[in-house]
Amino acid sequence: MDALPVLNVGLLKQEVGAYARTIGARNIASLYGVTDGKAIGTFIEQDIRGHLSSRYRFAAGNAASGIDFPELNVDLKVTSIRQPQSSCPFRDADQKIYGLGYALLVIAYDKTDDPTERAARLTAKHVIFIEAERTGDYQTTFGILEILRRDGNTDDIDAFLEERNLPIDEIGRARLARRVVATPPLLGYLTVSNALQWRLQYGRAITLAAEDSVTGLENLLA
């Protein structure tokens, strides 16, 4: 028997896009009446991993890696279209500017229940891929790029970061301001809220993905 091919990012995007197009045709009895978004998300994530593992070889994510596909540097996020957001581990304040350090594959679904079949139906409304460098906070990166465009210096950036209430001390903020001036970030597409864990909101990324030629963002249902 031939060994299974190795999963790569291109195949991952292709397979998840194809999966998302077909899941709406299934009756899922185990999710009938379920309103817990975490349980629904876990079902989809496990279903996708099972689908992929029957076709490809890949390293599964674990607590140490913190993401679903560590060898591909991609994390899978499943969220309801009614409130497209999720959380992720906080590493440092730099993530809000330079991105999480890994790409995101986001599925935004809608769920309905069929009382006749006593089964749930899941419809993938959006499937988007966000490159790692674009997973920063939109408002923060936009503001930084505007300051730099107007010839702002480290003092200007430091003051802006203080206004944004980044979870970082004064010394760390000064270091980050110097880094920003030396290496400006790319514009991020997420809304990243400060918390013990980052809270990621995908509404802007979903809207932008519907447009043509947005760098670093891909609509996998197009």
Using an 8 Å Cβ cutoff, are 184 and 97 in contact? no
9-89+101-136+204-219, what's its fold? Answer: PvuII Endonuclease; Chain A (3.40.210)
Give the pLDDT of the chain (222 residues) as one tens digit per residue.
468 999 999 999 999 999 999 999 999 999 999 999 999 999 999 999 999 999 999 988 765 668 999 999 999 999 999 999 999 999 999 999 999 999 999 999 999 999 999 999 999 999 999 999 999 999 999 999 999 999 999 999 999 999 999 999 999 999 999 999 999 999 999 999 987 789 999 999 999 998 877 999 999 998
**Confidence at residue 210, expressed as pLDDT on a 0 to 100 scale:** 87
**Confidence at residue 62, expressed as pLDDT on a 0 to 100 scale:** 67
CA distance 216 to 82: 24
Residue from 129, 2, 124, 106 nearest 55 by CA: 2
**Confidence at residue 2, expressed as pLDDT on a 0 to 100 scale:** 61
Using an 8 Å Cβ cutoff, are 121 and 92 in contact? no
